[in-house]
Amino acid sequence: MINKDEKMMREALRLAKKGMGRTSPNPAVGAVVVREGKIIASGYHKRAGFNHAEVEALLKMPGRAREDDVLYVTLEPCHHHGRTPPCTQAILKKGLKKVVVGMRDPNPGVTGGGCEFLAKRGVEVRSGVLESECRKLNESYIKFVLTGRPYVVAKSAMTLDGWVATSSGHSQWVTNEMSRQFVHQLRDRMDGVMVGVGTVLTDDPLLTTRLKRGRGRDPVRIIVDTHLRTPDRAKVLNSESSSETLMIVGPDVPAQRLRRIEREGVSILTCPTKQGRIDLGVLLDLLGSRDMTSILVEGGSAIMGSLISERLIDKFFIFKAPKILGGHDGMPMASGFGPEKMDAALRLNDIKVRRFGDDVLIEGYVEK
């Protein structure tokens, strides 16, 4: 038998997903109001600074609440003044007496505040309905509010024998069109997409979101380029995208070289180095200070190797294509030095496997 509360929370989750990639640094949230087993109003958070999901739903609700009306919301209603007024006040003003919450807000400054405030004013509050699904929906937001760093997702595409490119660096295309469209969907939901300068020099990528029918939102393009070797004519420096390109450079780049790439839509962020390369841990702190909650890392092997060795990746999307290069001189997913023993390998859990035509996608979370 289907649990009534779970059924309604799933609808709130479905609505919340519409806001993914649009609400940062806020979470994606959905809400529905139920009367006599039927949804009479619904809403979701569309963008930071816009109405929260609860308010969106309550504005569509006819009149004041009846005694048995229930508000379902994927995240604990806020009880603080931010860009918008507290949702708890809107709930009380509407006269609702029962609220079902998917998960408490993990933000240390507000955890429990909304639920406790409502409960003290006679509202019946139940939390934890489909909590794991609600947490997965906002995994980027959760890490961001707890650590100040963005959630790091690594994507790689390789042949069956483990190469991401040929010995010359050629990689277009390892995977098929279906797999590449999925990657564009990932970009659409991320605050930033990151590559190292090696990828720029080899592939000259656009790093924009290209979904069918022109849909999609471009993330900030983040180029890790310690010595600023990116050519003036690189596509990432000359894009017509409305989102910016952020060049991450070391502290020793000459001023004249910096001026060479100055143009509209391109920003420079100087970052400390470690062992001659950008200190990626410090970089994540700097990106978090810019309210970036999620980063998709697409290569190359040097930056991927550094992120893996420093345990800075939260989640992997690894595509395997039915191709074999053979030989021993292809480009690996990650370069550098790995552990000497297998039990020191990075382990993934909560594994999902999907097919995109002949390609196979392995999705997994880094074991903490």
3-state SS assignment for residue 341: coil
- Residues 269-286 have a mean pLDDT of 96
- Pull the structure tokens for residue 40: 């009479």
pLDDT at 354 over 90: yes
User: What's the pLDDT at 2?
Assistant: 59
> In sequence order, what are the residues at sequence separation of 6 or more whose Cβ sits closer than 8 angstroms to the Cβ of residue 87?
52, 54, 55, 77, 78, 79, 114
Residue (of 147, 145, 146, 96) closest to 122 by Cα position: 96
User: What's the pLDDT at 112?
Assistant: 60
Q: Give residue-wise pLDDT tens across range 73-128.
A: 999 998 876 667 789 999 999 999 999 999 999 988 666 688 999 999 999 999 99
The residue from 6, 54, 177, 340 that is catalytic is: 54
Angle (deg, nearest 10), helices 53-60 and 87-94: 20
Q: DSSP 3-state helix, strand, coil percentages of the chain (rounded to 5)? A: 30, 25, 45
- Could you tell me the pLDDT band of residue 299, with boundaries at 50, 70 and 90? confident
- Residues 189-195 have a mean pLDDT of 97
- Pull the structure tokens for residue 235: 């596509």
> Which percentage of the chain shows pLDDT scores above 70?
97
Residue (of 65, 149, 80) closest to 111 by Cα position: 80
CA count, 13 A, side-chain hemisphere, 244: 13
- Pull the structure tokens for residue 291: 């309210």
Q: Which residues of 91-107 are buried (b: 16+ CB within 10 A; e: fewer)?
A: bbebebbbbbbbbbbbb
User: What's the pLDDT at 1?
Assistant: 45
Q: Give residue-wise pLDDT tens across range 130-184.
A: 999 999 999 999 999 999 999 999 999 999 999 998 988 888 899 999 999 999 9
- Residues 267-274 have a mean pLDDT of 96
| Cis amide leading into 77 (omega within 30) | no
| Cis amide leading into 114 (omega within 30) | no
Q: Give residue-wise pLDDT tens across range 4-36.
A: 999 999 999 999 999 999 999 999 999 999 999
- Could you tell me the pLDDT band of residue 313, with boundaries at 50, 70 and 90? very high
Residue (of 101, 38, 112) closest to 72 by Cα position: 101
> In sequence order, what are the residues at sequence separation of 6 or more whose Cβ sits closer than 8 angstroms to the Cβ of residue 254?
none
- Pull the structure tokens for residue 140: 């980027």
pLDDT at 327 over 90: no
Residue (of 124, 186, 81, 156) closest to 308 by Cα position: 156
Longest CA–CA separation in the chain, Å? 72
- In contact, 156 and 319? CB cutoff 8 Å: yes
3-state SS assignment for residue 72: strand
What CA–CA distance (Å, rounded) separates 331 from 326?
12
User: What's the pLDDT at 81?
Assistant: 66
3-state SS assignment for residue 206: coil
**54 catalytic residue (yes or no):** yes
Q: Residue 83, class by beta-carbon neighbours within 10 Å (0-12 exposed, 13-18 middle, 19+ buried)?
A: exposed
Strands (E), the chain: 30-35, 38-44, 70-75, 98-103, 124-127, 151-159, 192-196, 220-224, 245-249, 266-270, 273-274, 277-278, 294-299, 315-321, 348-356, 359-366
3-state SS assignment for residue 265: coil
Angle (deg, nearest 10), helices 280-289 and 301-309: 90
